Amino acid sequence: MQIIDTHCDALLKLQVAKRNELFRGKPVHFLDAEELDTNFLRLQQGGVKVQFFAVFVHPELPDNEKWQHCLEQVDLFYSEVLGQPLMKQIRRWEDIDTLAPGEIGAVLALEGADAFGNDLVKLRHLYRLGVLSLGLTWNFANLCADGVGEPRGGGLTLLGKQVVQLNNDHRVFTDVSHLSPAGFWDVMELADYPIASHSNARKLCDHPRNLDDRQIQAMFSRNGLIDVVFCPEFINAGSQQAEIDDLLRHIDHFCSLGGERHIGLGSDFDGIFDHVAQLEDASAYPNLIEALQKRYSEDQVERFAFRNFLAHRPGIGDASSRT
């Protein structure tokens, strides 16, 4: 079965390793590096058809270094990820439909506006480079909005609202997974294409990175996608351990709120230190599919794995299939 996974942090791992090579660190290559949960061979083995690759620039880096770090990760997306002949960049959402058997689509995403600051020329460059999903923040505050870890808890700034409008204009997802609650509600008012690329249900695991029931229902009413995340800390409160059945409880909860056609997968592979048992990397996706098939119909499992995403692609998805 095909898998569409809307979040991984392989580019950051590749960048850190590339910089460490200057100090005789071990090279890490996208093809088969053991260090990468989402290396090419593991994506193949897991049946992944489309993988999102996030560019993440840590907010605590000096401002004058952030754009360079962003470009280094984008460069590795082109040289390492797309350097594999069967990896094909998705530059337009329609490109997913043209993937040949055996090819894997690669989507460039941005996790946090810190990379471009208040410079919309840089943002437009990122659109041209192929960014198709953009989260305004990581956990901290920046010039666009407050993240879930900012005590102030503010919403979107005027700049943040402008960025959401640019996302709409470019058919780019606005990702709410790290936004403060106030920022979330601003996005609900403004975004044509909202997504929570890697979040779970706060009712089952009370963590600020998860969404409460009111937020979940708002996402569904706005035709948004919520893609479950595999981080144990966001599955079981206060725990670094989780089983696949624990993750499925979050899918059950989303379904109970009317979200059967709004659920997807956003692993956060390569961005998490602990893993769900039997879901340690992308090659283990068949274990998740098998567990889902024991609980849901084949039609439902296909929806969760890839069809819901295809139905919600910006500017393409059939609105009648989203309700």
117-166 per-position pLDDT tens digit:
999 999 999 999 999 999 999 999 999 999 999 999 999 999 999 999 99
If we measure between CA atoms, which residue out of 19, 21, 43 comes closest to residue 31?
43
If we measure between CA atoms, which residue out of 120, 165, 160, 119 comes closest to residue 141?
160
pLDDT band (50, 70, 90) for residue 16: very high
- CA 187-64-112 angle, 5° bins: 20
Residue 317: per-residue pLDDT: 62
259-312 per-position pLDDT tens digit:
999 999 999 999 999 999 999 999 999 999 999 999 999 999 999 999 999 999
Indicate whether 321 pLDDT > 60.
Answer: no
Rounded CA separation 226/216 (Å): 8
Mean pLDDT, to the nearest integer, of 216-240?
Answer: 98
Indicate whether 29 pLDDT > 50.
Answer: yes
Q: List phi, psi (to 5°) of 173.
A: -65, 145
Classified by CATH at the fold level, domain 3-312 comes out as TIM Barrel (3.20.20)
Q: List phi, psi (to 5°) of 104.
A: -120, 130
Residue 316: per-residue pLDDT: 85
**Residue ranges per structural domain of the chain:** 3-312
Rounded CA separation 302/170 (Å): 28
Residues β-bridged to residue 174: 134, 194
